[in-house]
Amino acid sequence: MKKSGVCLAALAVFALWTAQAPADGESRPAKPGEKAFYANIYKVFEKACPPAPQGWREDYRDQPFLTDSVGIGAEFSPLTAVYSLRFQDDVTKRAADVKMLDAGGKVMNAHLENAARDALMKKMEAIAAEMGAAAQSGNIAGMQARQQEMEDVQTKLAKIQEANDQELNTAVSPHLAKDVTLDILIRANVFSEEFYEVAPEALDPVGGFPACRHREGRQEGTVWEEGMTYVFLGNWLPPETSEDVTRVRSVSRAGAPHTEVQTLVVSVKGEAKRARAALEAMDWAALKGLLGKEPR
């Protein structure tokens, strides 16, 4: 799922804001039941989260979203809530980063001077000057010819850069920081989840709820991206795959109060075994207790 390069905390805040705010940005005072929804759900989310792994520290934790106002029309769809938490192994990460930066720096320094690249850059400057002259004289054919030359040079430069990037990626690969972060995300009243490129792998249930794993750890440029494990609470339909997208959906219950929790999606981005351990340490009874109820 191509969300991994995005900061989960920022994504969580944005998702919550867009879900509850109307297009024109107008709001109204929150009703008692709506205030209770947020106060109760964040209390449970915080209680349900696991402790940090031994030797790790808590790097980030969402502050509860307690509000006195909601968007106009919020009562016409289920209220959403998002909570995120990150743990990090600073010692291992710092040691890996030092080695990675050293290996990457050697490659980058070796490419500070590149005769072929420098010659192409000078050629681009000359072509740009010729294009300007052709434009001033109204020589359309000359401009088009120079444009084609410019594109040819850019293609050659791109190939040089691609080779440099590959060399850099290969050099830093043995030193990338792996299994040093755990990103936990809990979302309420989410009714669809999409998995791109690779279909998720079904796992044994966690806390009695269906679970799956989407992609494993992999190198993305000079960064190691961990895979994600998901757990679904509520009434979810079987996955559907179309082309390169697998979708999991839940249907909102007709007539349900907008302050009722109908679904929960818990995801952990991290090394597979560590993600599983974190999920198994969560308070699933507390999370399950949210389903099908209005806060009081």
Q: What share of the chain is helix, strand, coil (3-state, %, to 5)?
A: 45, 25, 30
Q: What is the pLDDT of residue 222?
A: 84
pLDDT tens profile 45-98:
999 999 999 999 999 998 877 788 999 999 999 999 999 999 999 999 999 989
Amino acid letter at 149? E
Prediction pTM value: 0.80
pLDDT tens profile 122-168:
988 998 888 888 888 888 888 888 888 889 889 988 898 888 888 88
Select from 272, 242, 254, 269 the least CA-distant residue to 191.
254
Q: Estimate to the nearest angstrom the gap between the alpha carbon of 177 and the chain centroid.
A: 18
pLDDT tens profile 20-30:
444 456 999 99
Q: Which two tokens stand for residue 88?
A: 């990090």
> Pairing relation of β-strands 223-225 and 228-233?
unpaired
Q: Is the pLDDT of residue 258 over 80?
A: yes
Q: Is the pLDDT of residue 11 over 60?
A: no
Q: What is the pLDDT of residue 221?
A: 86
Q: What is the pLDDT of residue 295?
A: 60
150, 165, 235 from 120: Cα distances, Å: 10, 18, 59
pLDDT tens profile 51-62:
999 999 999 998
How would residue 296 be classed by pLDDT, with cut points 50, 70 and 90?
A: low
d(CA 79, CA 262): 10
d(CA 214, CA 264): 18
How would residue 3 be classed by pLDDT, with cut points 50, 70 and 90?
A: very low
CA angle 191, 84, 258 (to 5 degrees): 35
d(CA 161, CA 156): 9
Average pLDDT over residues 4-24: 44
Residue 255 is given by DSSP the state T
Q: Is the pLDDT of residue 210 over 50?
A: yes
